[in-house]
Amino acid sequence: MNEHGELVVTHKVRIRFNETDALGIVWHGNYLKYFEDGREAFGRQFHISYLDAKQNGYATPIVKTTTDHKLTLTYGETATVETQYVNTASAKLVFRYLIKNEADAIVCTGETVQVFTNLKDNTMSLILPDFFKNWKIKQGLLDA
Amino acid sequence: MNEHGELVVTHKVRIRFNETDALGIVWHGNYLKYFEDGREAFGRQFHISYLDAKQNGYATPIVKTTTDHKLTLTYGETATVETQYVNTASAKLVFRYLIKNEADAIVCTGETVQVFTNLKDNTMSLILPDFFKNWKIKQGLLDA
Amino acid sequence: MNEHGELVVTHKVRIRFNETDALGIVWHGNYLKYFEDGREAFGRQFHISYLDAKQNGYATPIVKTTTDHKLTLTYGETATVETQYVNTASAKLVFRYLIKNEADAIVCTGETVQVFTNLKDNTMSLILPDFFKNWKIKQGLLDA
Amino acid sequence: MNEHGELVVTHKVRIRFNETDALGIVWHGNYLKYFEDGREAFGRQFHISYLDAKQNGYATPIVKTTTDHKLTLTYGETATVETQYVNTASAKLVFRYLIKNEADAIVCTGETVQVFTNLKDNTMSLILPDFFKNWKIKQGLLDA
């Protein structure tokens, strides 16, 4: 939890040669991979990964993404992905991302929204699944 | 040009096995590839591709993307990408995308914004480059 | 079937911008995607795709790949993938690939080997599955 | 240097969700990314990366790859990539790879071959470039 009471996880990614394009910079679509890397790091630290959802009978597919690109990244750089959980009352998982370069300048920001779908019938859950409600209570994000 | 006076290009993409993920559906980040496929098809038809920009001394990096996912795509399906040029007075290239499945249902919508950067000094152009102004005039999107 | 009695399918691939790397050429690992494109085109023409295998209770995972790179491909080029079925007595699917550029020069050659695994218990089939034996008989590659 | 006098670097990779395919396992083509990760880790430790070559006026494009798949990897696993430099008298960079799962079982082996091309005229060097000869001498792989 950061100074604003927000759940944030910081994760380093080393830029791969194969993530660059003919302009010599990271191809824009790869930022969604860095977001996933950040989200995974968040999931590992706060026990709310794809695998946790799966064990409880849910998938958490992405339904919305946004990326805003301020600067570029090139091969050999190490970027920092800050992944912040955005608390919402709806049956959604919302994360905000801040990618910084080694000079601590903001390279890219973005957001993803995930929903909970039942693994059995592939329907979208309109209410918070119990396992996720319990997770929020445990994190102090929801009253028991 | 469609019935609304908009420049729209339709392009088919066959879903590759390697574009799916462990949920059996196209991984969300791959939609930015389909958008690029659509944008490229647009560029080929209306002569406004990365290569056209390059010949005129410009790169057109993506500075913003959004995706909205309504349905999923699986391996073996053929999707249709409709790429619409969004006319704007600013020195930007804006495209809107509509991806439909074989049943003509909307799978994903989205938008990308590109700016013009000078290949020599990598600075962003704040005014419309001449080659692009001429392109707009030629398409009837700007008065000569 | 070509003049040598071999099953060969020719497939065109347009080189995507996002398949290039910082050297301005297609990143070597993407050739395995082009091989998959070729293999899929073969499968569609000769009805022996992943989906055909799946319907018969089998997966056909890749167990071996080789690529040999002679020339490079850049964004905007259209390459031709020739996919040749290599007949073998073993319970394997072997394909050879020849990728040519627009000048008909050989850019890359390679080979993939697939085995048949039972979807139920994930075991590898040591003998030719019936559906594949029938396919070979139908293609004149095996006596009934 | 390992017990056999070979230069070997060990690198961990966490399997990303987006590296899996609809069979629930890592798509075979992604192993070339893990090889690149291993090669990069080797390059960082022994100062012989793409960037070192570039500073000396060379690119080191891949001209040959092989992969042999024994087992599969799934999302959430951490694999170990062992990258071994294979000493050769020719003007080539040869690496062998061994990917192991958490149970220390071999998942995949492979090899890549790179040549040295002159960044100025894009020609292939038929003799060892000086910077690389010096590197070999420094590593005790060549007499001064």
Amino acid at C128: L
Under the banding of pLDDT at 50, 70 and 90, the label for residue B3 is low
- Would you call C21 a catalytic residue per the annotation? yes
8 Å CB contact of D29 and C36: yes
Other Cβ atoms closer than 10 A to C140: 10
Cβ-contact A81, A10 below 8 angstroms:
yes
**All domains of chain D in start order, with CATH:** 8-138 (3.10.129.10)
Each residue's pLDDT tens digit, C47-64: 888 888 999 999 999 999
Q: Which of A23, A33, A68 sits opposite B29 (nearest CB)?
A: A33
Measured between CA atoms, the residue of chain D closest to residue B15 is D22
Other Cβ atoms closer than 10 A to D50: 22
C134 pLDDT higher than 90 = yes
**CA gap A27, A15 in Å, rounded:** 11
Residue among D109, D34, D40 at smallest CA distance from D71:
D109
Mean model confidence pLDDT for chain C: 94
A93 pLDDT higher than 90 = yes
Cβ-contact D32, D67 below 8 angstroms:
yes
Both tokens of residue A30?
């790869």
- Which pTM value belongs to this model? 0.95
C5 pLDDT higher than 80 = no
Under the banding of pLDDT at 50, 70 and 90, the label for residue C3 is low
Percentage of chain C with pLDDT > 70?
99
Q: What is the pLDDT of residue B21?
A: 93
Each residue's pLDDT tens digit, B68-97: 999 999 998 999 999 999 999 899 999 999
CB pairs under 8 A between A and B: 53
Other Cβ atoms closer than 10 A to B37: 22
**CA gap B6, B133 in Å, rounded:** 17
Q: How far is A30 from chain C (nearest CA, A)?
A: 9
Q: Is A102 helix (H, G, I), strand (E, B) or coil?
A: coil
Give me the residue label for tokens 């957001």.
Answer: A111
B1 pLDDT higher than 70 = no
Q: Across residues A116-130, what is the average pLDDT?
A: 94
Any chains having at least 3 CB pairs less than 8 A from chain B are: A, C, D
Q: Which of B14, B16, B49 sits opposite C33 (nearest CB)?
A: B16
Under the banding of pLDDT at 50, 70 and 90, the label for residue B58 is very high
DSSP output for A43-71: HHHHT-SHHHHHHTTEE--EEEEEEEESS
Measured between CA atoms, the residue of chain B closest to residue D73 is B22
D interface residues, C as partner, C-beta within 8 Å = 23, 25, 28-30, 32-33, 36, 59, 61-70, 72
Q: What is the pLDDT of residue C79?
A: 98
Amino acid at B30: N
A13 pLDDT higher than 70 = yes
Q: Which of D29, D36, D59 sits opposite C33 (nearest CB)?
A: D29
Q: Which of D14, D17, D37 sits opposite A50 (nearest CB)?
A: D17
Q: How far is C45 from chain A (nearest CA, A)?
A: 32
Residue A68, C-beta contacts closer than 8 angstroms, at least 6 positions apart: A108, A109, A110, B63, B64
* Ordered per-residue pLDDT tens for chain D, 144 residues: 676 778 999 999 999 999 999 989 999 999 999 999 999 999 999 988 888 899 999 999 999 999 999 999 999 899 999 999 999 989 999 999 999 999 999 999 999 999 999 999 989 999 999 999 999 999 999 988
**Residues of D designated as active site:** 21
Q: Which of A16, A25, A27, A32 to mutate to test the interface with C (most CBs of C within 10 A)?
A: A27
Cβ-contact C46, D46 below 8 angstroms:
no
Cβ-contact A24, B32 below 8 angstroms:
no
8 Å CB contact of A22 and C20: yes
Q: What is the DSSP letter of A30?
A: G
Helix or strand (DSSP H, E) at D29: none
C85 pLDDT higher than 80 = yes
Give me the residue label for tokens 């309504």.
Answer: B70
Under the banding of pLDDT at 50, 70 and 90, the label for residue B110 is very high
Each residue's pLDDT tens digit, C34-50: 999 999 999 999 988 88
